[in-house]
A and B are shown apart, each in its own frame.
Chain A
């Protein structure tokens, strides 16, 4: 199975800060990497697919990058509505594993 390791597990940043979350795969998975946002009590929603493609309707302050085994999700200017957990998922091969999640809070 492909292991997905996210870091950090949580972070606290100020409104307007640039925030980066990293996801590392145990083997190369390019470009089969998706980022989800999950607000408390809500369903996850897709932010980024195929490593760097922005899902329709998602604000442009979200971006994805990376290749091979290392991927990143960046929020260019953190907003209060971005308080959520963020999850990466590989769709390279079954089982389609997720990272353990990163909880983002406002300082």
Chain B
């Protein structure tokens, strides 16, 4: 079955760190750029970060640049998001998503993992 499964969310204090994982199955993971998108409670979707299929290039929203790091392990079909210096406004459901080859929209999404930043 073609799917993405996120894990690693939870409650963390402001200033803390968390690493999210996204396990891919059912497609050739190493062919596709992968993305993290988040949704704060009651808000719209926000693009966070994208990594190319090889991992050679990464892209970030200004809101997370310098604090978050996206990476991937194509041998494990897994995408990661290392989140440091977390703030209350990082509280959101984090989705991983597969980017289509020829455009910057996302045709496969996971069900998300909730990150709550609170003391």
| Chain A interface residues (CB < 8 Å from chain B) | 32, 34, 36, 41-46, 49-50, 55, 87, 89, 91, 94-101
Contact = CB atoms under 8 A, between A and B. Distances in A.
Main secondary structure, interface of A, reads: loop
Nearest to A48: B105
Contacts of A97: 47
A43 B98 CA distance: 12
B68 to A, nearest CB: 13
Given A94-B59, A95-B61, A101 B107 contact: no
Interface residues of B, number: 21
Given A44-B95, A49-B107, A95-B61, 12 more contacts: A32-B103, A43-B112, A44-B97, A44-B109, A46-B106, A89-B47, A91-B103, A95-B62, A97-B47, A98-B44, A98-B47, A99-B44
A50 B4 CA distance: 24
A46 B45 CA distance: 14
B66 to A, nearest CB: 15
A91 B101 CA distance: 13
